[in-house]
Structure 1
Amino acid sequence: MAEWDIRKLQILRTLRERETVTATAEALRMTPSAVSQQLTNLSRQLGVPLLRAQGRRVRLTDAARLVLRHAEAVFEQLERADAELAAYARGEAGEVRVGAFPTAVPALVVPAVRALRATRPGVTVRVRETEAAEAYDLLAAGDTDLAVSLAAQAPTAADPRFTLVPLLADPLDLALPRDHPLAAADGVRLADLAAEPWIFGGSGPWSDITRGACEAAGFSPVQGHSAAGWTAILAMVEAGMGVALVPRMVGARRAGVVMRELTADRPHRHVVAAVRKGAAEAPAVRGVLAALREAAERTA
């Protein structure tokens, strides 16, 4: 296969446009002898004569014109590559893989992706739903570029692998059956539900958050039923089987469930984004983080 040299092809192209070696040298800020030497080397590399003398001038051979016809496609593709690289450097292009826990996907990640389509259409976001704790394992392994998780599941700030970015303090509301005596009360506190059966997962972050909120209010919750998914939890609340804490970000809506904002002992769960150390400066990642922060502000 012939040896192609982009720089020498550019010199040949300029000679076609300027017609003389002297004019080509001036345009490229080279000496005429350097131009001649580069074109002689190109001819040798390609194995065909590229120039022929005509008086005191040189003319391109048919082989040279054939070479340039194909080279134009190469130059066009390189121009596109330059444009895409410039867009990448400005954060207007690139791919960012995001791992996010289930309720964060519709509440934060999807709105961020929608906003990016309008402001940075060249940035592709690939979303992977994952549990809160697993998000950091995927990030550390290089399987994702950005994690959206819960601060309770995050590594400590001293962990040298990650940079944490606070996104949202998500209030926890109380889910009650519609016919519950406190469903229409003027004010509701967690302590008012101390004797109720509670519905939450048997383990994991939501179990820890529910137990922690109740204990902070002065009692240990009695787990009446165990469920991890919000559909199951709200269905049991609707059936009068117990009460539950539900993050406002879930946007829970069910006909037989009343969502009450707690007037005291109001607990929150804290949502954070994380990237590997140093990665926050990558333009595309920086753009996705900004979109997530904006989505979090709108949610709050």
Structure 2
Amino acid sequence: MAEWDIRKLHILRTLREEGTVTATAEALRMTPSAVSQQLTNLSRQLGVPLLEAHGRRVRLTDAARLVLRHAEAVFEQLERADAALAAYTQGEAGEVRVGAFATAVPALVVPAVRALRAAHPGVTVRVRETEAAEAYDLLAAGEVDLALSLAAHAPTTQDPRFDLHPLLADPLDVALPPDHPLADADPLHLRDLAAEPWIFGGSGPWSDITRTACESAGFTPHQAHSATGWTAILAMVEAGMGVALVPRLAAVHREGVTMRELTADCPVRHILTAVRRGASETPAVSRVLEALRTAAGAD
């Protein structure tokens, strides 16, 4: 296979446009001897004569014109590559893999993706739903580029592998049956529900968050039922089997459930974004982080 040299092909192409070696040298800010030497080397690499004498000048051979016809497609593709690379470096193109826990996907990631499609359609986001605690393993392994997780499951800020940034403080509301004596209480404090039967997971992040919130309000919750899915939890609340804390991002309207904001001692769960250390400077990742912050601010 012949040895193709893009720079030398560019010189040959310029000679075709300029007509003389001297004009080509001026256009490319080279010396005439350097132009001649580069074209002689290209002729040797391709194994065909590229120039022929024409009076006191030179002109392209038929072989040179054949080479340039094929080279035009190469130059066109390189222009496309330059444009794509410029878009990538400016954050207008690229793929970002996002790992996010279940309630963050519809509430934060989906609005961010919609905004990106409108403002930066060249940025592609691939979403992977994951447990909050698993996100950092995926991030460290390079399987996702950006993770959304709960602060309760984040490594310390001293962990050299990750850059962590607060995204949102998500309030926890209480779910009550509509006929509950405290459904219309104003104000309603978390400690007012100390004697209630509670519904939350037997273990995992939501169990920890519920227990921590109740203990901060001065009581230990009595766990009457265990469930991890919001559909199951709200169905039991609707049936009058207990009360539950529900993050506002996860709240889904249900006819038989009253959602109440808590006063004064309102607990929150903190949501973070995480990327591998230094990756937040990657333009496409930066675009996604910006879109997530905008989505969080809109909630």
Shorter-normalised TM-score: what interval?
Answer: over 0.9
Mapped to 2, the partners of 1:105 and 1:276 lie a distance apart of 20
Percent of aligned pairs sharing the same letter: 82
Cα deviation for residue 160 of structure 1 reads 1.1
Q: Which runs of 4+ in 1 moved over 2 A?
A: none
What is residue 54 of structure 1 aligned with on the other side? 54
Within 5 Å, give how 1:128-147 maps onto structure 2.
128-147=128-147
What is residue 271 of structure 2 aligned with on the other side? 271
Amino acid at match of 1:3: E
What is residue 176 of structure 1 aligned with on the other side? 176
Mapped to 1, the partners of 2:217 and 2:99 lie a distance apart of 33
Q: What SS does the aligned partner of 1:138 have?
A: helix
Cα deviation for residue 201 of structure 1 reads 0.7
Q: What SS does the aligned partner of 2:91 have?
A: coil
What is residue 152 of structure 2 aligned with on the other side? 152
Mapped to 1, the partners of 2:83 and 2:146 lie a distance apart of 26
Mapped to 2, the partners of 1:40 and 1:158 lie a distance apart of 59
Mapped to 1, the partners of 2:58 and 2:209 lie a distance apart of 82
Q: What SS does the aligned partner of 2:220 have?
A: coil
Cα deviation for residue 62 of structure 1 reads 1.2
Cα deviation for residue 21 of structure 1 reads 0.8
Q: Deviations over 1:219-253 (max 9, x none)?
A: 11111111111111111111111110000011321
In structure 2, list runs of 5 or more residues that go unmatched: none
What is residue 114 of structure 1 aligned with on the other side? 114
Q: What SS does the aligned partner of 1:228 have?
A: coil
Mapped to 2, the partners of 1:49 and 1:125 lie a distance apart of 50
TM-score of the aligned structures, taking structure 2 as reference length? 0.98
Mapped to 2, the partners of 1:235 and 1:3 lie a distance apart of 71
In structure 1, list runs of 5 or more residues that go unmatched: none
What is residue 246 of structure 1 aligned with on the other side? 246
Mapped to 2, the partners of 1:228 and 1:12 lie a distance apart of 69
Amino acid at match of 2:23: A
What is residue 193 of structure 2 aligned with on the other side? 193
Cα deviation for residue 216 of structure 1 reads 1.0
Q: What SS does the aligned partner of 1:263 have?
A: coil
Aligned length in residues: 299
Amino acid at match of 1:162: F
Mapped to 2, the partners of 1:181 and 1:78 lie a distance apart of 72
Q: What SS does the aligned partner of 1:240 have?
A: coil
Cα deviation for residue 119 of structure 1 reads 1.7
TM-score of the aligned structures, taking structure 1 as reference length? 0.98
Q: Deviations over 1:10-67 (max 9, x none)?
A: 0000010011111111111111111111111111111111111111111111111111
Mapped to 2, the partners of 1:123 and 1:251 lie a distance apart of 30
Q: What SS does the aligned partner of 2:77 have?
A: helix
Mapped to 1, the partners of 2:186 and 2:10 lie a distance apart of 79
Amino acid at match of 1:73: A
Mapped to 2, the partners of 1:74 and 1:241 lie a distance apart of 70
What is residue 30 of structure 1 aligned with on the other side? 30
